[in-house]
Structure 1
Amino acid sequence: MDRRQRVLNLVVPHGRTGVEIGPLTHPIVLKSEGDVLYADHLPTEELRRQYSGHPTLGPAGIDGIVPVDVVLGEGGLAEALGARGPVDYIVASHVVEHVPDPVRWLREAGDALREGGVFCLIVPDKRFTFDHFRTPTSTGELVAASLAGLRKPPVAIVYEHFARATLVDAGAIWQGRPVRTKPVSGGPAEALGIASGIAATGASVDVHCTVFTPYSFATVLAELIGLDLLPFECAALEPTRLREDEFFVLLRKRTDGTAAQRAASVPRLDPDRHHALPRPGWAARLAGRWRRALA
């Protein structure tokens, strides 16, 4: 089953109204599959100018960027939707890691959902991406970002992003082979220069503000829900599959019950499998167990 079908199975778009945030050239929910609105931080033409020549767009280039239906502003998704909300589901693939204040962003998503509506997140697993050498984001960092009302990445995060970004071979990591540092750009020296410029000018740059493993995300999510900072329960959390580099989270809006009850919905993951790096031969043993289970 491909990643798109996995999301469709989680949100069931047929006959429902939803939003996909930041689809660019690769929408997960197609217009033919339900009443879906595409949301982004800029109107279509401005988005195409911003991404002109960007390598992530693929062969289609800027012409492949889907028309934006909802332009997100400072007031959040619910305000941007207006009379078109609330909606039944929201999808965001590789978006949450770019958000300076994820707690606020998730709460605003909850405001845009009907009671019982779902928010599907696809989150990169930092172990198998260029964030490999970064430290997983803690609950304290997310609480601090929320209390500070961050609207752009702090200087410390800008530095970490550029200093630690490393070219990795995800297949080799799954085989338990060690990762050698191969800086994407200039490493710490260049990171200091970029961070210094940001500090001096107050400018903003798009970086990964947060990094997670499935285990660290589940741990943080349970604590945030338990603090009653998020209006959700965890409907599903699918850890990173063998030889993949992302995991899937389904949050359901729920405002009844206690925060402790909602926090208990977050599954307890095994840190050896879903946080630590794979050991030599581990992937082969896991694949063998899966084949036996499916036989």
Structure 2
Amino acid sequence: MDRRQRVLNLVLPQGRTGVEIGPLTNPLIRKDEGDVLYADHLPTDALRRQYQGHPTLGPAGTDGIHPVDIVLGEGGLAEALGPRGPVDYIVASHVVEHVPNPIGWLREAGAALREGGVFCLIVPDKRFTFDHFRTPTTAGALIAAHLAGLRKPPLATVYEHFARASPVDAGAVWRGRPAPLRPISGGPAEALSIAAGLAETGASVDVHCAVFTPCSFAEILAELIGLDLLPFECAALEPTRPWESEFFVLLRKRSDRTAAERAASVPRLDPHRHDALPRPTWPQRIGQRLPRRWRRTFR
């Protein structure tokens, strides 16, 4: 089952009204599969200018970016929807990690959902991405960002992103092989220069503001719901599958249950499987000790 079908199975869009945030050229919910609105932070033309030459868009380039139905402003999704809301579902793939204030963002999404509506998140697993060498985000960091009402990444996060972001072979990590640190942006010295420049100008830059493993996300989610900071229960949490690099979370808006009851809906994940790095199998461990010319047998 591909990732798109997994999302369809979670949100069941047929006959329901929903929003997909940031679909760009590859929406997970197609217009013929339900009454779906595409939302982004810029109108279509401005979005195409911003992504001109971006390598992730594929052969269609900016022409493949789907028209934006809703432009998100500082008032959040509910305000942007206006009379078209509330909706039955929201989908956001690889968005939450870019948001400076994830708690505020999730609360804004909750305000745009009907009671019982669902929010499907696809979240990168830091272990298998360029965030491999970064420390997982804590509940305290998210709460601090929320209390401060952050609208742009804090300088500490900017520094960590540029100092530690490194290309990673996800397949090799799954096989238990150590990943070499090769900073994409020049390492700590370049990161310091970028952070200092932003401090001087007050400008902002798009980075991963938060990084998670499935286990760390589940622990934080339970804590934040238990503090009644989020209006959701956890309807599903599918940890990262072998050889993949992302996990799926389905949140359901519930106001008829206590915060403690909603927090208890978050599954407890095994940190050895869903937080620690994979270990090599015993044949691989043996192979690592053999002369190089013999190791191919154990790959």
Range into which the TM-score falls when normalised by the shorter chain: over 0.9
How far does residue 282 in structure 1 lie from its aligned partner after superposition? 8.1
Q: How does 1:152-231 map to 2 (within 5 A)?
A: 152-231=152-231
Aligned Cα RMSD in Å? 1.1
Give the equivalent residue in structure 2 for 1:92: 92
Distance 1:106 1:173 in 2: 31
User: Residue 233 of structure 1 aligns to a residue in which SS?
Assistant: strand
Which residue in the other structure is 2:257 paired with? 257
In structure 2, how many angstroms separate the alpha carbons of the residues matched to 1:165 and 1:283? 31
Structure-2 residue corresponding to 1:60: 60
Is this contact kept in 2: 1:175–1:283, CA < 8 A?
no
What is the deviation of 1:272? 0.2
- The separation in 1 between residues aligned to 2:33 and 2:123, in whole angstroms, is 23
Q: Deviations over 1:264-290 (max 9, x none)?
A: 000000000000000001899xxxxxx
Q: What secondary structure does 1:9 align onto?
A: helix
Does the 8 Å CA contact 1:126/1:213 hold for their aligned counterparts?
yes
Q: Distance between the aligned counterparts of 2:282 and 2:258, measured in 1?
A: 39
Q: CA deviation at 1:208?
A: 0.1
Q: Do the aligned residues in 2 keep the contact of 1:43 with 1:68 (CA within 8 Å)? A: yes
Counterpart Cα distance in 2 of 1:219 and 1:213: 10
Once the two structures are TM-superposed, the CA of residue 257 in structure 1 deviates from its matched residue by 1.5
| 1:47 partnered with 2:47 | yes
- Structure 1 residue identity aligned to 2:9: N
Q: Secondary structure at the match of 2:193?
A: helix
Q: Contact 1:115–1:254 at 8 Å: present in 2 too?
A: yes
Letter in 2 for 1:147: L
Q: Which residue of 1 aligns with 2:112?
A: 112
Matched, 1:272 2:264: no
Distance in 2 between the 1:170 and 1:144 partners? 32
TM-score w.r.t. structure 2 length? 0.94
Q: Which residue of 1 aligns with 2:83?
A: 83
Q: Distance in 2 between matches of 1:192 and 1:283?
A: 43
Please give the residue correspondences for 1:134-149 in structure 2 after superposition, counting only pairs within 5 Å.
134-149=134-149
Q: Aligned partners of 1:279, 1:133: CA distance in 2, in Å? A: 17
Residues 22-67 of structure 1, C-alpha deviation per residue, up to 9 Å, x if partnerless? Answer: 0000100000100000000000000000010111111110000000
How big is each residue's C-alpha offset from its partner over 1:73-117, in whole Å with a ceiling of 9 and x where there is no partner?
A: 000000000000000000000000000000000000000000000
Unaligned runs of 5+ in 1: 285-295
The structure-2 alpha-carbon separation of the partners of 1:148 and 1:177, relative to structure 1 and needing over 3 Å to count, comes to same
| Counterpart contact for 1:174–1:283, Cα < 8 Å | no
SS of 2:195 mapped into structure 1: helix
Q: Is the 1:18–1:36 contact (alpha carbons within 8 Å) kept by the matching residues of 2? A: yes
Shift of 1:251: 0.1
Higher radius of gyration, 1 or 2: 2
The one-letter amino acid paired with 1:263 is A
2:134 match: secondary structure: coil
Deviation at 1:185, TM superposition (A): 2.1
Instruction: Please give the residue correspondences for 1:277-288 in structure 2 after superposition, counting only pairs within 5 Å.
Output: 277-281=277-281
CA–CA distance in 2 between the matches of 1:176 and 1:184? 22
Given that residues 242 and 283 in structure 1 are in contact (C-alpha distance below 8 angstroms), is that contact kept between their aligned partners in structure 2?
no
1:292 corresponding residue in structure 2: none
The 3-state SS of whatever aligns with 2:119 is: strand
List runs of 5+ in structure 2 lacking aligned partners: 285-299
The letter for the 2-side match of 1:98 is H
| Aligned equivalents of 1:283, 1:194: Cα separation in 2 | 44
Aligned to 2:70: 70
CA distance, structure 1, for counterparts of residue 17 and residue 155 of structure 2: 38
Q: Compute the TM-score of the two structures, normalised by the length of structure 1.
A: 0.95
Q: What is the CA-CA distance between 1:252 and the residue it aligns to? A: 0.1
